Structure 1
Amino acid sequence: MSRVCELTGKGPMVGNNVSHANNKTKRRYLPNLNNVTLQSEALGRGIKLRICSAALRTVDHRGGLDKFLEKAKDTDLSASALKIKKEIAKLQTAQAAEA
């Protein structure tokens, strides 16, 4: 399982461990990934995603998963998140056509 956030695309970064003697060895900084179930108002169901804690705060700040995906770039999203974004957009266009 890759260590990449499904909503932001944030992945591992590389850097150095620096000792007291200033010796440098490579290390990886991994994103803080959590398995969460986010509720979609448009779809009326929960969606399981593996996202970083920063993305979870951003989803809350923007007002939910639907609004987050509306503004998100397609290049940052995973395949499953992109599929959900298209489902939500399809439902919203159908509701706008009815009104």
Structure 2
Amino acid sequence: MTKACDLSGKKVQFGNNVSKANNKTRRKFNVNLQSVTFKSDILNKNIRFSVATSSIRTVSKFGGIDEFLTQTKSKKLSQKAKRVQRAMNNAQKKAS
């Protein structure tokens, strides 16, 4: 499992710890990833993603995973999220 968010693309970053004496030591800034299940009204099923906590807040701001995926460009999404996005688009086309 990669340490990257499925919805926002956030991943591990690297930097330095800097002491008062300006000594630098390398460190990692890990993403706060959580495994979350979202309910899709369009697909009528639950979808599990590994997402950053900031992405959870963004999804709730949009009003759900359906609205988030329909308004987000696919280049920011992981392969799994792109598959779900395509399935939602196909389901919406069949419904209309």
Q: TM-score, normalised by structure 1?
A: 0.93
> Which structure 1 segments of 5+ residues have no match?
none
* Structure 2: tracts of 5 or more residues without a match: none
Code of the residue aligned with 2:80 in structure 1: it is S
Superposition deviation, residue 92 in structure 1: 0.6
Query: In the alignment, what sits opposite 1:10?
Result: 10
Written as runs of structure 1 = structure 2, the 5 A alignment for 1:65-80 is: 65-80=65-80
Partner of 1:89: 89
Moved over 2 A (4+): none
The percent of aligned pairs where both chains have the same amino acid is 38
Measured in 2, the distance between the counterparts of 1:53 and 1:38 equals 13
Cα deviation, residue 73, structure 1: 1.6
TM-score with structure 2 setting the length: 0.96
Cα deviation, residue 20, structure 1: 2.1
Q: Secondary structure of the residue that 1:70 maps to in structure 2?
A: helix
Report the aligned-residue RMSD.
Answer: 0.8
Q: What letter matches 1:88 in structure 2?
A: M
The alpha carbon displacement at 1:38 in A equals 0.4
Measured against aligned partners, the alpha-carbon deviations of 1:9-66 in whole angstroms (never above 9, x if no partner) come to 0111111101121101111111110001000000111101000000000000001001
SS at the partner of 1:75? helix
What does residue 58 of structure 1 align with? Answer: 58
